[in-house]
Amino acid sequence: MPSIFRAVAELESAHQPAALCTVVKTSGSTPRHTTSKMLVYPDGHIIGTVGGGELENRVVKESLASLLDGKPRLLAYSMTDPARGDPGLCGGQVEVFVEPILPAPVLVVVGGGHVGKALAHLAKWLGFHVVVSDDREQFCTPEANPDADEFYPVPLAELPLRLSINPQTILILTTRGSNVDVAGLPALLETPAGYIGVIGSRKRWNTTVKELNEQGIPDEKLARVHSPVGLGIGAETPAEIAVSIMAEVLMLRAGGSGQPLQNPK
């Protein structure tokens, strides 16, 4: 079994999340001493231990929740009376700090043309892990999009089969037409992606919605999609459109209002 410190270092190179749990305070009799550590992976498997038994089960559950909301937790447990709900009867008290270790957020650009290239460049500069996907292989290479970290030259409907998509994944479709969106969106809507944005005019999106409705995709599912994607800043050039899109992404991630700071409402 690798050491926890080595495993934590490997998370960054593998671009994978986990939660680091550390016993930060104890009093009385407890199963583990302070600084004891446990690493919890998204599938629930662990390295190390904070005490075993029901205590550890509860810490694992809180760790998995922290990976979903990205928030740390300070957990306090009394270990005296299981009948009262305590996770043990050692007789002491223990506090465990749960720290989610999250990789850079993943932003997937579907469509490697002019806007997609500008979007990949800006997203990389902002610290995102950038994935580019395009069914046209010539637009999905390091030469065509030098700022991307990964490339998936596959049809849009196949992307969820090749790429792990989770609630932290941001999907932006800068595709060449509504026909591409209609063919691929049903598969994307079955994923837990945290954000799905589609470029284009309101007319284009209305056309897409109509065709997807005819395929049996309900409006409730389509409500997840942000389209036209971006904030209304009067963008025209690919670079300006990229700024508009990333402004909306950042606003929603941070819980911003999108209002001018000079005269906030």
Residue-level pLDDT, tens digit, the chain, 265 residues: 568 999 999 988 788 899 999 999 988 877 778 999 999 999 899 999 988 788 888 999 999 999 988 899 999 888 665 666 555 556 688 899 999 998 888 999 999 999 999 999 999 999 999 999 999 999 999 999 999 999 999 999 999 999 989 888 999 999 999 999 999 999 999 999 999 999 999 999 999 999 999 999 999 999 999 999 999 999 999 999 999 999 999 999 888 888 888 876 6
Task: Specify whether the CB–CB gap between 187 and 157 falls below 8 A.
Answer: yes
Residues 96 and 110 in one domain: no
Claim to verify: residue 154 and residue 121 sit in the same structural domain: yes
Q: Do 128 and 182 fall within a single domain?
A: yes
Q: How far apart are CA 142 and CA 73, in angstroms?
A: 40
Residue 160 lies in a domain: yes
Measured distance between the N- and C-terminal CA atoms of the chain, rounded to whole angstroms: 55
Same domain, 90 and 117: no
Cα angle: 11, vertex 131, 44; to 5 degrees: 35
- Residue 265 inside a domain? The answer is no
* In-domain check, residue 263: no
pTM for the predicted model, two decimal places: 0.79
Lookup: tokens for 29: 């009799």
Q: Which domain covers residue 174, as residue numbers?
A: 106-254
Same domain, 130 and 200: yes
Least Cα distance to 246 among 118, 70, 150, 104 occurs for 118
Domain boundary among 58, 80, 101: 101
If asked whether residues 184 and 53 sit together in one domain, one would say no
Residues 53, 183 within the same domain: no
Q: Count structural domains, the chain.
A: 2
Same domain, 86 and 198: no
